[in-house]
Structure 1
Amino acid sequence: MSGALVPADEFAAGAADVSGAEGAAGPAGWDDAPGPAVAPAAGRTPVPGARSIRRYTARVARRRSGAGIGEVLGDVYYAVVMTAIGLGVALGLAGHLRTTLPHVPDQALRSGISLPTVVAVVAVVVAGVVLSLSARLGPVGAGGAEATWWLGTPVDRRGLLRPASLRLPVAAGLVGGVVLALLDGGLLADHGLGHVLRLGAGAALVCAALVLLAGHLQSRGVPRRATALAGDAVIAAAPVLALVAALAGWRVAALPDVAWWVLVALAAAVAGAGFWLDTRLGRIRGRDLRESGSVASQAAGALVSLDSRELGRALSDSAARPRRRRVRRMRLVRGPVSAVVVADLTVLLRSPRHLVQLVVSALVPVVVVITPQLAGAVGVVLAVLVSGYVGMLATGEGARRAEMAPVVDRLLPLSAQAVRRARLIVPGVAMLLWSVASFAAVGRWEGAVGPWLLLGVVSAPVWAAASLRAAYRPSPNWEGPLVATPMGALPGGVAAVLARGPDVAVLGMVPVVLSVALGTVLPVVVAVQAGVSAIALAVGASTSTKTMMDRMAEATDAAEAEKKRGTR
């Protein structure tokens, strides 16, 4: 039956088999829906409506899943409780961070940028992320069985695609509203609960409107890549706006209060945009729907399997240029090592998302040190570690693709360890540039740029090693015993797998953390950092996939075996 259309009478018969007595009435069991797109032939059952097809598919899926109403309600209850706990923890962390921020006198607040300005910049970043992700994941798509069976039926696509067109706007609105409400209520806490709720509702409506805008562009044939690049441009512009505001002396005293009539107007506008998009769903090409649906399915599968590398590939490939009009001669290639380096550099330059990610992460410490309320030891340490890790992830795309398809690496006249050493070059150079920008800002904040630049240059190899270690980490073993967790059943040892990469970054940056805490760079700390960087490079270039616990267990077993042989 694959690829063939099911006649309407057979479809109705299948519905009768699933729905039991309710479906035994034949066509009368289907609900009233718009007329069929194709007139039924004489003696044939009329084609059912789109809503009936969706209900029939959902009924079959529920029947074959074996999950009862009790299990569904239990899952919903568990999700609601865990969401409430997560929001409470996030609100508590934001409040704790607010209390640990250094007290800044009023005279110091007149220089740099204010904390509400930083929150406003974060709001711009959230808007760019929503627009970029909505273009990469859809915003309207049909993947898997939906694309195979639904798009080929002689039914109006509006009814079939309506749930898919509402899924992303609702999700983006919820996430965007919660993030802005947490930042306002937990980090600023300068207004009452009503202000926080109105601001969160306004942010939710704006995020939903951005997704609907991406849907309208998709219905008009605008390439999803162009919409994604527009979102990336908004993300890149956010820290630049912060720097311009600092230079020009602009600052936001407090986030504006959103009036109720503004919320009503935004809600009406979002409802009108949603209705307008609903009228244009039938104009989206089937190829675009299949591409969007496949990307969303790939991203969902990566999240379920806890594979961040696959998630990154899905988001990058969805906005990649489908064809190249120019041929690069690769004149820099002089041997196998240079071929690996040029290939990694080409992959990085052809991914605008990673370039934006690298630039924005380098500007985060700059924004933190020019914000008096954030420019403390805790704020600077968090800014360096978090932004450094985010920038590091952008530099390892070549290694991640090589881990997925190592056939090209195996054709090179190099050993596996030599290939990994060659793949350290591009992340090392990129993170060296990142360290120069970030540590120059930290050094200016501390009052001595030279020593901090030296410390940043010496610590740059740690990020490269962490990038390579994260790219070549093994996948979780789903064939072994599973462990019950708040996120569901997960394979044993998944935490050790996910920690490969972040462990090197955290341990390797301990001298930097100590220097920020001390407020100065000591020569002995620079020497220790150089040694730690050398060890990190050796760990990052290693081809062993065993964890530290496995190595310790093997060393213990070998020592016991050697002891037994000695006693004999």
Structure 2
Amino acid sequence: MTAVRPYETGPVPAARSIRRFTTQAARAHADAHVGALLADVYSAVLSVAVAVGFALGVVQQLRVALPPAPDVATPGGLSLPVLVAVLLVGAAGALVGVAGRLGPVGAGGAEGAWWLTLPVQRRGLLRPAAVRLPVLAALAGAVVVVLLDAGLLARAGAELVRGALVGAAGAAALVLAAALVQSAGVPRRTTALAGDALLLAAPVAAALLVATGTAPATTPVPGWALVAAGAVAVAALGAGVDARLGRLPARTVRESGSVATQAVGAVVSLDTRELGRALGGGTLRPARRRSSRLRTVRGPVTALVTADVVLLRRSPRHLVQVAVGVLVPALVTVVPQLASPVGVVLAVVVGGAAAASAGAEGSRWAEMAPALDRALPLRHTTVRRLRMVVPALVALVWSALTLAAVARWAGGPVVDWLVLALASTPVWAAAAVRAAYRPAPDWGKNLVATPAGAVPAGAFAVVARGPDLVALCLLPLWIAIGLSTVTTPLVTAQLVLSVVAVLIGSSTHEKSWLDRTLEGADASAPAPAPSGAAR
């Protein structure tokens, strides 16, 4: 009788060989060749260079157009260098919030499916993924600092180089610190809320400096010692994250990879709604200590409005978004170089869009899962108008506070500006709901070659739904800010355009007259490139 030989196993492969095998398998199943890869890399690098150069040119032109700083500091004002520092602190908070929502280290797709179950050292498998996000953050931080320093502060030479290096090191250190605390067991929600708190603290601190009259006139220029300290901090944090890679739970790695994959897909598809759902879904609290009795629900109408109110109340990120939307225009009005009609209009556009969009989170979720919209015995038009209630309430509070600051800047009666705020509130709500219910770009159409890559024909008309109402139906508001005064004809025209905006925003037809106009403008874009060129 032949003896049964025991099952023989070979040596455990190294993590590098597993990664190399995965890359080779992916290349074998792909139709692209090395030339196509080099062409894609060339296109990506060229697109980034063109975008950075264009942005730098715009910022420099803005600096040239800005009036010179006053010789004597205005009491209660804010200098341009301090405003740049506030923007950098706010950007740091936003970066920490994004890093917290993405998770420490992610492995999605096939990597998360079978890499984590192999008897291979997990630290070696996850090391490239752990390096990816800090490197991207460092590049983004350097670009942002260069744009602000060279564009607004007119710094050049060694000062600009040191600023870029400090920005890169600071951004990478923030991402690594977020990954380190999450790998130690801190929940993603806590890290994300810390980033949101830092984002809110930046304009609040600036407002306190303005209120107390203690805002400095200049900010210190970073030296080489700070660059060295940043490099040491990045190295130490990177070593700490690398040491914890082998102890990360598989569930955490898969969740982070899933969020990152969903976020990248949303960016490629030009879908900001999906991007918000990807970054916000993982930080929702799974269970609550207490439940609301929802006493305001008395029927289908109040049920829909109550659902939107509860969703806004349970989302700290959107509450921070509303607060930042209020503070940004108020700060711009007290910066001498930016307190021009054009600067105030741009600040009002940015702040109003952020505040109204925060109140329309229920509409964005309803566009993906319209179960509540269709279950209630309400007409589709009525549902859209009810969805405007919460964004309108948010926009009303924002408009009252913002236009009160604009009235102080313009030197006119506050009551007149508050009346204009009340008249313009429906436009913000209609624009937010219209943007929330917009369809996704049709990638089945012919593709148009652009410096940013191939996009489907008609993508501009889709992305412009919502901002089009802000641009067209708020013309009286823009004229009032440009003239620094409010008149009765402007208020009357704003009331009429607000009614038009509500009618367009609540329309459930596939295409309104404004959509057809936008598609006509989009059709005048360059002709679609051949399919081979698009690829």
Task: Please say whether Structure 1 and Structure 2 have the same fold, judged by a TM-score greater than 0.5.
Answer: yes
State whether structure 2 residue 46 is matched by structure 1 residue 81: yes
Q: Specify whether residues 272 and 265 from structure 1 end up closer, same or farther in structure 2 by C-alpha distance, changes over 3 A only.
A: same
Whether 1:530 aligns to 2:495 is yes
Q: Out of 194, 198, 208, which is 2:158 matched to?
A: 194
1:463–1:351 Cα change, 3 Å: same
2:105 to 136, 140, 143: 140
Distance 1:549 1:418 in 2: 20
1:354 CA displacement: 0.9
Q: How does 1:147-162 map to 2 (within 5 A)?
A: 147-162=112-127
**Secondary structure, aligned partner of 1:106:** coil
User: Residues 329-370 of structure 1, C-alpha deviation per residue, up to 9 Å, x if partnerless?
Assistant: 110001101000000111111111111011101111110111
Match of 2:352 in 1: 388
Partner of residue 349 from structure 1, selected from 292, 313, 317: 313
Matched, 1:65 2:26: no
Partners of 2:461 and 2:518 within 8 A in 1: no
Q: Map 1:296-315 to 2 at 5 A.
A: 296-315=260-279
Among 381, 384, 408, which residue is 1:420 paired with? 384
Higher relative contact order (CA 8 A, sep 6+): 2
CA distance in structure 1 between the aligned counterparts of 2:245 and 2:416, rounded to whole angstroms: 59
Per-residue deviation, 1:549: 6.9
Letter in structure 2 aligned against 1:58: T
Change (3 A) 1:147 1:86: same
Deviations 1:418-447 (A, max 9, x none): 111111100001100000110000011111
* Paired residues of 1:361 and 1:388 also in contact (CA < 8 A): yes
Query: For residues 433-448 of structure 1, what are the structure 2 equivalents within 5 Å?
Result: 433-448=397-412
Alpha-carbon distance in structure 2 between the residues aligned to 1:531 and 1:503: 16
User: Which residue is equivalent to 1:253?
Assistant: 217
Show CA shifts across 1:221-249 (max 9, x none).
11010000000000011111001111222
Q: Which residue in the other structure is 2:303 paired with?
A: 339
With 368-377 and 245-254 compared, the bigger mean Cα shift is at: 245-254
Q: Secondary structure, in 3 states, of the residue corresponding to 1:475?
A: coil
1:496 equivalent in structure 2: 461
Q: Which among 311, 319, 325 is matched to residue 289 of structure 2?
A: 325
The residue aligned with 2:441 is 476
| 1:214 and 2:188 correspond | no
Aligned partners of 1:464 and 1:218: how far apart in 2?
37
Cα distance in 1, alignment partners of residues 213 and 158 from structure 2: 30
Residue 540 in structure 1 maps to residue 468 in structure 2: no
Cα pair 1:309 1:400 within 8 Å, conserved: yes
Distance 2:216 2:136 in 1: 29
Tell me if 1:455 matches 2:413: no
Q: Specify whether residues 200 and 254 from structure 1 end up closer, same or farther in structure 2 by C-alpha distance, changes over 3 A only.
A: farther
Superposition CA RMSD, Å: 1.7
What's the counterpart of residue 129 of structure 2?
164
2-side partners of 1:110 and 1:329: how far apart? Answer: 49
User: How far has the Cα of 1:108 moved from its partner?
Assistant: 5.0
1:553 deviation in Å?
12
Secondary structure of the equivalent of 2:454? Answer: strand
- Residue 242 of structure 2 is matched in structure 1 by 278
Paired letter, 1:384: V
Give the drift of 1:489: 2.4
On the 8 A contact 1:511/1:525 being kept in 2, the answer is yes
Residue identity over aligned pairs, in percent, reads 53
Deviation at 1:217, TM superposition (A): 1.0
Q: Provide the rounded CA distance (Å) in 2 between the counterparts of 1:245 and 1:550.
A: 45
Q: Could you list the per-position Cα deviations for residues 525-556 of structure 1 after superposition, in whole angstroms to 9, with x for gaps in the alignment? A: 000001001110111111112153775799xx
Q: Please give the alpha-carbon distance, in whole angstroms, between the structure 2 residues aligned to 1:342 and 1:526.
A: 31
Query: So what's the TM-score if we normalise by structure 2?
Result: 0.93
- Structure 1 distance, partners of 2:143, 2:449, is 28
Is residue 379 of structure 1 aligned with residue 346 of structure 2? no
Moved more, 327-336 or 267-276: 267-276
Aligned partner of 1:171: which letter? Answer: L
- Once residues 157 and 517 of structure 2 are traced to their aligned partners in structure 1, the CA distance between those partners, rounded to angstroms, is 53
Q: Which moved more, 1:351-360 or 1:135-144?
A: 135-144
Match of 2:395 in 1: 431
Q: Give CA-to-partner distance per residue, 1:488-510, whole Å, 9 cap, x none.
A: 22221111011101101111111
With structure 1 as the length reference, what TM-score do the two structures score?
0.88
Deviation at 1:314, TM superposition (A): 0.9
CA distance in 2, matches of 1:553, 1:353: 32
Q: Is the 8 A contact 1:108 1:372 kept in 2?
A: no
1:359 and 2:323 equivalent?
yes
SS of aligned partner of 1:258 = coil
How far residue 86 of structure 1 moved from its aligned partner, in angstroms, is: 1.2
8 Å contact kept, 1:218–1:284: no
- AA paired with 2:494? Q
Deviation sequence 1:88-114 (CA, Å, 0-9, x none):
111111111112223443235454110
Distance 1:199 1:257 in 2: 8
Q: How many residues align?
A: 513
Partner Cα distance (2:445, 2:39) in 1? 26
Where 1:414 maps in the other structure, the secondary structure is coil
Aligned to 1:516: 481
Amino acid at match of 1:430: V
* Equivalent position amino acid for 2:443 in 1: W
Greater radius of gyration (CA): 1
- Cα distance in 1 for residues equivalent to 2:218 and 2:73: 17
Given the alignment, which residue of 66, 71, 76 partners 1:106?
A: 71
Determine which of 364, 376, 380 is the counterpart of 1:400. Answer: 364
Does the CA contact (< 8 Å) of 1:198 and 1:258 recur in 2? Answer: yes
Q: How far off its partner does 1:63 sit?
A: 2.1
Shift of 1:43: 2.1
- 1:416 aligned partner, one-letter code: H
Q: Rate the CA distance shift 1:160–1:329 in 2: closer, same or farther, 3 A.
A: same
Residue 356 of structure 2 contacts residue 392 of structure 2 at CA under 8 Å; is this kept in 1? Answer: no
Distance in 2 (alpha carbons) for counterparts of 1:356 and 1:272:
32
Q: For residues 335 and 454 of structure 1, what CA distance do their matches in structure 2 show?
A: 32
SS of residue matched to 2:164: helix
In structure 2, give the amino acid aligned to 1:423. Answer: R
> 3-state DSSP class of the match of 1:490?
strand
Aligned to 1:115: 80
C-alpha change, 1:110 and 1:421, in structure 2 (3 Å) is closer
Structure 1 550/262 Cα, relative in aligned 2: closer, same or farther at 3 Å? Answer: closer
Cα offset, 1:325, TM superposition: 2.5
Q: Secondary structure at the match of 1:188?
A: coil
Range with bigger deviation, 476-485 or 111-120: 476-485
**Given that residues 407 and 417 in structure 2 are in contact (C-alpha distance below 8 angstroms), is that contact kept between their aligned partners in structure 1?**
yes
Alignment partner of 1:484: what SS? Answer: strand
Match of 1:47 in 2: 12
SS at match of 2:455: strand
Q: Which amino acid letter does the alignment assign opposite residue 349 of structure 2?
A: L
CA distance in 2, matches of 1:262, 1:103: 30
Cα distance in 2, alignment partners of residues 273 and 454 from structure 1: 53
C-alpha deviation, 1:484, in angstroms: 2.2
Q: Which stretch of the first structure deviates more once superposed, 300-309 or 424-433?
A: 300-309
Equivalents in 2 of 1:77, 1:399: separation in Å? 39
Task: After TM superposition, give the deviation of residue 68 of structure 1 in Å.
Answer: 1.8
- Equivalents in 2 of 1:83, 1:304: separation in Å? 15
Distance 1:277 1:550, change over 3 A: closer
Please tell me the residue identity of whatever aligns with 1:487: A
The CA distance in 2 between the partners of 1:196 and 1:548, in whole Å, is 49
**1:237 alignment partner in structure 2:** 201
SS of corresponding position for 1:505:
helix
Does the CA-based 8 Å contact 1:176-1:204 persist in structure 2?
A: yes
